[in-house]
Structure 1
């Protein structure tokens, strides 16, 4: 038995922006197939057509999880629909082995006027299970979904979270060989998401292959062994989570306007003192394009106080790309004795940087201990990379902080 559960070779799919022309192309393609021509015409684009997926290739083996990330419209859902057999590719080949469980659209496959219990039987029957097999799994499905009080109510009365609970519970209890999950878990609460991810990892250990689509790259990184980044229908070769995360954030940064040094958005405070600029410099005082984990960096803020001030407190918040505060550097107990009037600068040095690879941004806050004088949200964004050091490989680093310390190896007496 082969270990490759999903194999995609040079797959492309095109759609038409014009509804009437799309219907005409569909009829033409259908007629062409009847006389032996390939679906999708001669392989080129016709008027008003565009490539939703273009020349995508990858493999997923038994027990592996492939994560797909990318902005809206990048082609992730279209790819899952191709894998699930809902639509046909215009070029290339898709091979999926074994029973497939899919959560591609919220509420997909449910009859809204039937109860949750009846929908369980219908969904399981479509996948080839007998009534006896469904009966043996029914209690486990209902118990995992945690909606036993509503299982006999019409599905149309369910909330989005209840749809996800029931759909995911059905899919994982039908012993799928391949599981396709498209952002459906995003509407579940945090506790149920953790419960689902724990079950996904358990199923991986039992040999189920997963493809997971999410807009949360850190969730993808922790769950999947390899990740594909989709952009405008294309996908470069899959790689490990950290590399994919960096590529994804590079694409995000390219799509955003650059932050100006005099940016004034996201400001609040009395304005008696204001941050005029913020920059990250290296040990030579230069502003690097990319910071290395082992480099010394200095966060420098130029400020302007309209009047003589004392007892001030400054804070730099270094946040990861998923908006979590990684480091909070405060000048409490140091800056209060300083007198500020007119233009001055405030700096904080990190030697070394110690952040793992990825994109980060800085919030700058100044207060007098009682009220905020200025808060500059997302004042500056910067990128950190890691180079391999002696005896260690940091190319697949996890977390957000490299801790300085030492290991001891001692004999037990």
Structure 2
């Protein structure tokens, strides 16, 4: 991997990745043996870099892209997709087995929590260390020191050893150093998720400021974050690029459709009532894909329960959670006279008109309780999942319809 110090040129390519691949071995003993063999292969020039041996797998396979100044590339994919491996190759922490990486200029990286910090040194001393690694003189670091400390909001703790910092303090210091040093290439992994919302918004404002002079690689499981700052995207799966391009919205939709597991999770049951069937009523074949609803469509859920013996009509509570398992809504429960019991079976539908949840994946939890005492009888998490489709990718869970009208003075 080569690195060059560039002059500031608009729209120049700062990161060029060509057919990058990295393989790992699942077994430590075998991996050590392969390492010895590879040493001899490198000496004799018979390196078989693109061939897998027993117990090996591709963590990254044939990834290619160019990233120009002023562009932000989002890397998305589920755990084990190869995102972090790719970033570590780009940052020079590990070497690829095949392919080539060319990076121009200074590289700032937030890849792992606390990475790049010496835990026994203070925050102030680590700022100087990181600045020196980036190629700044002590005078240049002196000129940026107060801005870094102010941005990180660590004035009281800057002379305390970093090993005593909380995870949020480490993130604040790491981002402050990476951003205030104004690198040509900024690499950000999932670490921003550790920070609080206020600092996160502060980071995005800073990213907006430095982006015109910087190329950014950004990894996150938060699709609103990806949509917020990225103008191109790569969707990875088992080391392979499944989608690559400028259509960030399409990549996000493909990412969401990976969540197709509708297995139920019974949290509690007193065995008086059991769920026979749960489904979302939509005009779509959902056998192998998650049901999809367009924003503003009707949400109609159907349930069938079996009673072990005659009991009074219970109350049914249906709650909606987002993909981060945060509760976003509770549907109003039934009245005793709303439903009937036939042959110890209760079948019913719940209708919510014009759903106005924002774009994303949601799951349905259902709870059953006795009407008189509210004593729980059954609770099932993740009984259903569905996806809301829309052009807008926003932070809040609700995207409410509204009208505008002029007010005449």
The answer to whether 1:97 aligns with 2:104 is yes
The aligned residue for residue 6 of structure 1 is 15
Contact 2:111/2:187 (<8 A) preserved = yes
**Structure 2 CA distance, aligned partners of 1:356 and 1:114?**
45
Q: Equivalent residue of 1:236, what SS?
A: strand
| 8 Å contact from structure 1 (residues 15, 22) kept in 2 | no
- In the other structure, the counterpart of 1:381 is 385
1:390 maps to what in 2?
none
Matched, 1:177 2:189: no
1:233 aligns with 2:239: yes
Counterparts in 2 of 1:364 and 1:144: CA distance versus 1, 3 Å: same
For 2:329 and 2:23, the matched residues in 1 are separated by 45
Against the structure 1 CA distance between its residues 143 and 25, is the aligned structure 2 distance closer, same or farther, given a 3 Å change threshold?
Answer: farther
Correspondences of 1:76-95 after superposition (within 5 Å): 76-95=83-102
SS in 2 for 1:309: coil
1:111 to 97, 115, 118: 118
Secondary structure at 1:108 match in 2: coil
Equivalent in 373, 376, 380 of residue 372 of structure 1: 376
Q: CA deviation at 1:44?
A: 2.5
The answer to whether the 8 A contact 1:267-1:377 is kept is: yes
Deviation at 1:273, TM superposition (A): 4.4
TM-score by length of 1: 0.80
Structure 1: 5+ residue stretches without partners: 386-393
SS in 2 for 1:319: strand
C-alpha separation in 2, matches of 1:196 and 1:402 = 24
Q: How many Å apart are 1:54 and its aligned residue?
A: 0.6
Superposed CA RMSD: 3.2
Identify the residue that residue 267 of structure 2 maps to in structure 1.
Answer: 267
User: 1:358 offset after TM fit, Å?
Assistant: 4.1
How far does the alpha carbon of each residue in 1:100-139 deviate from its partner, in whole angstroms, 9 at most, with x for none?
A: 1111223222233322222211211121211111111111
Matched, 1:300 2:302: yes
**What TM-score do the two structures reach when normalised by structure 2?**
0.81
SS at match of 1:244: helix
Q: CA deviation at 1:79?
A: 0.9
| Between 286-295 and 224-233, the greater mean CA deviation after superposition | 286-295
Which whole-Å CA distance do the structure 1 matches of 2:62 and 2:79 have between them? Answer: 19
| SS of 2:80 mapped into structure 1 | coil
Alignment pair present for 1:212 and 2:222: no
Match of 2:312 in 1: 309
Whole-angstrom distance in 2 between the partners of 1:353 and 1:149: 47
Question: Residue 354 and residue 411 in structure 1: after superposition, are their counterparts in 2 closer, same or farther (change >3 A)?
Answer: closer
> How far is the alpha carbon of 1:195 from its aligned partner?
2.6
**Alpha-carbon spacing, 1:133–1:214, altered in 2? closer, same or farther (3 Å):** same
Q: Distance in 1 between matches of 2:116 and 2:402?
A: 53
Task: Give the CA deviation at 1:327.
Answer: 4.2
How many residues matched?
387
- 2:36 is the alignment partner of 1:24: yes
TM-fit CA distance, 1:192: 2.8
* Residue of structure 2 aligned with 1:65, choices 65, 68, 72: 72
Q: 2: CA distance between counterparts of 1:339 and 1:295?
A: 25
- Higher mean displacement: 231-240 or 396-405: 396-405
Q: Distance in 2 between matches of 1:295 and 1:161?
A: 40
